[in-house]
Amino acid sequence: METVFPGLHAMQNVHPLLVHFPIAFWLAALLFEIFSAVRSNEDWHRNAARFLYLGTVFGIAAAITGWLAQKLVPPSGDAHAVLETHETLMLVALTASGWLSLIALLRPRLSSAQQKWFLAGLVVLALLTVFGSDRGAELVYRYATSVRLP
């Protein structure tokens, strides 16, 4: 395994393998919902909802693996403060994604006003995701958490 996947073998946890999926799916959901609103097309909305569902599922997996990985961050200091911010932003994002997914599931057809609120929720989700992801990147690239240094 080490010869075929040396990078995977060097990983201290699987969290980095999963985090990119909710980011991509949530941003895709926003993009598809924008197209749905501009084109007044329910097919785009259904696809936005599917991306949102996938983002929520992968967000749960990323949160679980993140909780398992947080033991690799020093328990105090600057890196721990960044971890706390990252964790809070991403858990709020996951909660927002869960609520938006529930809305999309229970209300597959939205009125124009409802769609505007749904779109606003996706914008908030995207902002939380971008800022929370930035703090995760800061943990890796500034503080070298979960990185085996030579």
Is residue 146 situated within a structural domain? no
Percent of the chain residues topping a pLDDT of 70: 99
Question: Which residue range forms the structural domain that includes residue 116?
Answer: 6-141
Count the domains in the chain.
1
Is residue 120 situated within a structural domain? yes
Is residue 1 situated within a structural domain? no
Is residue 91 situated within a structural domain? yes
pTM for the model stands at 0.93
Is residue 147 situated within a structural domain? no
CA distances from residue 76 to 32, 79, 83 in whole angstroms, order as listed = 41, 7, 10
Confidence of residue 147 (pLDDT cuts 50, 70, 90): confident
pLDDT in tens, 3-38: 898 888 888 889 999 999 999 999 999 999 999 999
Is residue 148 situated within a structural domain? no
pLDDT in tens, 50-78: 999 999 999 999 999 999 999 888 888 89
